Every structure is written in structure tokens, then in C-alpha cells.
Amino acid sequence: MTHVQAEDGTEIFVRDMGEGDPIVFLHGWPLSHRMFEYQYHYLLDEGFRCIGIDHRGYGESDKPYGDYSYDRFADDLKAVLDELDVDGVTLAGFSMGGGIATHYMNRHDEAHVDKLALLAAASPCLTKKSDFPEGLDEEELNPLIEGARTDRAAMNAEFGQMLFHTEQSDEMMEWLWSLGMDASGLATAASAETFRDADLRPDMDGITVPTKIYHGVHDEITPFEITAEVLEDGIENAELVRFENSGHGLVADETEKLNEELAEFAG
């Protein structure tokens, strides 16, 4: 475990485990790298190196006031990969982490990355634009931002109930809630504004590496039709893998399938 200093001095927490082909994990909103616990168990046993990063504002990283844009998150990731001096990476981004991964690939010319895995990605565009009428209304995401500002504990609990298609234990839900409460309230609100407003469609043209898109067909947060299918059409070397029994939280809805898919793709 270590911290890497971003260009503005923010300390980014990195958990680096194992040896072998590297997989770098980018967590979703409003969690931390620990959300991938049940991927780490499997992939470490399969001989992979697993690198989990806490985005600024989350987990064990610094939680500054200020910029929580996709530019900033992508630049933080570049600082980490440069410092670790790691190449041949499979970059695995979940939800907001998928948006960060999409933007990183174009902004930093795919540096260090040989393969891209997008897991229930909040990418490329969630809300309606003049040329994207199929997107969500902003009003559907605004309660997350308002909740982060007024009653973050309740908002995190309500958001957790939206994550899964299969039943999860009360203890699992409490654990995920605790990960969300470890985040900065300022970061939680600001980065929700980022993924609400972002349009990453231009970034798709900059992605040339083999890409797998893993997405639950019952996803209520990043709906399959406006994210997964758009990514498949927009990324040159992309293949879409449907998770028929998953909502947004495919890491827990279909853990075994996801783990096996990641191992096969990254190997």
C-alpha cells in the first residue's frame, strides 16, 4: 500500500497486490477500491497483479476542496501509472470509474494500457443532449446531488437499494453504505455533477486497444441502451458482454461470471 502524489500535491491511495499481468481497478461512485474485494480474491489466486486506486475524495486518498472533473481524475490516474512504472495494464473501470477510464484513454493516449474493461460504465453520456435525446433527464440524477448535500447517509442507503438485481445480505448493504460514508461529502456531490453533465462520446474515437464492455441488462443507474450499446458502437475494438442476471452492481450480482471474464480477457 502506498500513496502517489498528484500534480497538485493531492495524495492518491494505491493498493498494489500480487505479481503477474497487471489489472488496475477504478471504483464507482461513491465507493472506494475496496468494492472490488471479491475480484481481488479470485484474480490474485489466478496469478494477476491487482492495483486498486482510491480516487481523490474517496477511501484513503486525500479529500481536497475543488476540482472533481474527469480531466482531474484522468490526470491523477496518469500520475499513479507513471509512478508505478507499470505497462501492459488491463484498465478496469466500474460506473464512474468507467467514465474516468474512457476519458483517460483519449486524454493520455492510452499510456500504459493494453486492454480496457468497462464495467457498468457511466459512459459515454448519461443525460440528454441536443443530439442525444435518448439520455436520462437531469432531474433523474439531481436527487443524488441534493442528497449528498443534505442527507448523505440517507442518500447512500437509497442508492444502495438501486444497485442490484439479485438479493444481497443486509450485511453487504451495510458494508457498501460504510464505503460510501468514507467519502468526502464535497467530492460526492461534485463528482455526481461531473458524471451527470459529461459527454465523453468524443473520447471513444481515441480508444484503439481491445475493449470489453460488461453490463447488466437490468441496470437502473446506467441503463444498458444508453451506455453499453453506445460504447459498443463507438469504440473500434469493443465487444459487449451481457450480464442477464445483473443490475448495476454486477460485481456482486454475477461475481463468478465477472471474475472469469476478467481473468480470460486480462490473461
Q: Catalytic one among 33, 54, 61, 95?
A: 95
Sorted by where each begins, the domain ranges of the chain are: 2-266
Write out pLDDT tens, residues 139-192.
Answer: 999 999 999 999 999 999 999 999 999 999 999 999 999 999 999 999 999 999
Using CA atoms, how far apart are residues 7 and 210, in angstroms rounded to an integer? 29
Query: Which one, of 56, 147, 141, lies nearest residue 97 by Cα?
Result: 56
For residue 219, indicate whether it is catalytic: yes
Write out pLDDT tens, residues 6-42.
Answer: 999 999 999 999 999 999 999 999 999 999 999 999 9
| DSSP codes, 40-59 | HHHHHHTT-EEEEEPPTTST
Helices (H), the chain: 37-45, 70-84, 96-107, 142-150, 152-161, 170-181, 185-197, 228-234, 250-253, 255-266
Query: Which one, of 122, 120, 83, 85, lies nearest residue 100 by Cα?
Result: 122
Check residue 128 and give left, alpha or beta (phi > 0: left; psi -120 to 50: alpha): beta
Strand ranges (E), 203-248: 211-216, 238-243
Q: Catalytic one among 112, 219, 246, 253?
A: 219
pLDDT of residue 5: 97
CATH 3.40.605.10 describes domain 2-266:
no
Q: Is 245 exposed, middle or buried (0-12, 13-18, 19+ CB in 10 A)?
A: middle
pLDDT of residue 104: 98
Q: Catalytic one among 27, 112, 248, 253?
A: 248
Mean pLDDT over residues 247-257, rounded? 98
Write out pLDDT tens, residues 198-239.
Answer: 999 999 999 999 999 999 999 999 999 999 999 999 999 999
| DSSP codes, 78-89 | HHHHHHHT--SE
Q: Are 62 and 54 in contact (CB under 8 A)?
A: no
Write out pLDDT tens, residues 57-105.
Answer: 999 999 999 999 999 999 999 999 999 999 999 999 999 999 999 999 9
pLDDT of residue 216: 98
pLDDT of residue 1: 73
Using CA atoms, how far apart are residues 178 and 187, in angstroms rounded to an integer? 16
3-class secondary structure per residue, 128-172:
CECCECCCECHHHCHHHHHHHHHCHHHHHHHHHHCCCCCCCCHHH
For residue 54, indicate whether it is catalytic: no
Neighbours of 85 (CB within 10 A): 7
For residue 248, indicate whether it is catalytic: yes
Using CA atoms, how far apart are residues 160 and 218, in angstroms rounded to an integer? 15
Q: Are 117 and 91 in contact (CB under 8 A)?
A: yes
